Amino acid sequence: MDEYKKFVLSQIGIDRYVLRSNSNKNNNLNKVINEDVLIQIPPLKKNINKQSESNQIVENRQKPLNWQTLTSEIKNCQNCILSKERKQVVIGTGDLKPDWLFVGEGPGAEEDQQGLPFVGNSGKLLDNILLSIGLERGKKVYIANAVKCRPPGNRPPILDEIAACQNYLHSQISLLKPKIIVAVGKTATVALLGDDKTPLGKYRQRHLKFQWNNFSNKFLEPNQPTIPIVVTYHPSYLLRNLNDKIKSWEDLVLAMDILNKQNNG
């Protein structure tokens, strides 16, 4: 491992990876990659405001979506109660032709203020995590959240809110066409996999697939290729659970290996 990588890893609190890696000669990452676990993605059960104008636009759209229309819809959205107290919606940031899509939970106070995802301490950690695998915010990377408006008091979004916003996230994926998606945290995993029962840890270190045809969205293009998903911990969680940073890095190494395999395949 070169000195720069050691430095970057130390910035995210990982300084023991070499020892651990050496002690595990039978590293099973490759075996995991070949597992190719196929996950069906049902739309989440929705309990959204049927009278909402923006929701009707989403439901009734027949033509393919474009980014401008989508962002305008999200900015005006009142599909769930989170619209009441937001300062602004946080749609996402980054390269609109990304290889990587990172999906987090929802805006916190600082994100709500700035209109950007992952600012503050968790944002700094995410930036360092990106650096540790040779990525940089904005270059081949797009960062979004499962819900676009801040839950009051920084509580996690409830299932109805995740479901209300799910169309927007899936529409972003449809337009961005990333080569790989990294779900950071439980909320993102629920929004992407449609499963709120399974603990996040059960999805870690698995090559999951995001299947377009399973969506109910009328406006998605048919026969879009599947996109790999890797699940890992949210930076906010990692700030409180320092020992799990190594696991998060292992998840991203898995994601890199999947992407490399895909690019070379």
Where on the chain is the footprint of ligand SF4 (CB under 6 A)?
A: 74, 77-80, 82-83, 89, 147-149, 161, 164-165, 168
Number of neighbouring beta carbons within 10 Å of residue 89: 23
- Cβ at position 149, least distance to ligand SF4 in Å: 3
Count Cα neighbours of 148 within 13 Å in the Cβ-side half-sphere: 27
DSSP 195: -
Nearer to ligand SF4, 23 or 51 (CB): 51
Residue pointed to by tokens 């999906």:
103
- Cβ at position 167, least distance to ligand SF4 in Å: 8
Nearer to ligand SF4, 119 or 180 (CB): 119
Paired sense of beta strands 93-94 and 208-210, if any: unpaired
Number of residues that make up the chain? 265
- Cβ at position 83, least distance to ligand SF4 in Å: 4
- Cβ at position 80, least distance to ligand SF4 in Å: 3
Q: What Rg do the C-alpha atoms of the chain give, in angstroms?
A: 18
- Cβ at position 245, least distance to ligand SF4 in Å: 29
Residue pointed to by tokens 């099973």:
28
- The answer to whether residues 207 and 30 touch, using CB atoms and an 8 Å cutoff, is no
Nearer to ligand SF4, 148 or 207 (CB): 148
- Interaxial angle between packed helices 3-11 and 120-132, expressed in degrees from 0 to 180 and rounded to the nearest 10: 160
Number of neighbouring beta carbons within 10 Å of residue 197: 6
Report phi then psi at 223, rounded to 5: 60, 30
Nearer to ligand SF4, 82 or 129 (CB): 82
Query: Which pair of tokens denotes residue 223?
Result: 């026969």
- Cβ at position 91, least distance to ligand SF4 in Å: 9
Nearer to ligand SF4, 49 or 262 (CB): 49
Nearer to ligand SF4, 157 or 228 (CB): 157
Nearer to ligand SF4, 11 or 78 (CB): 78
DSSP 219: T
CA 171 to mean position of chain CA atoms: 13
- Cβ at position 117, least distance to ligand SF4 in Å: 13
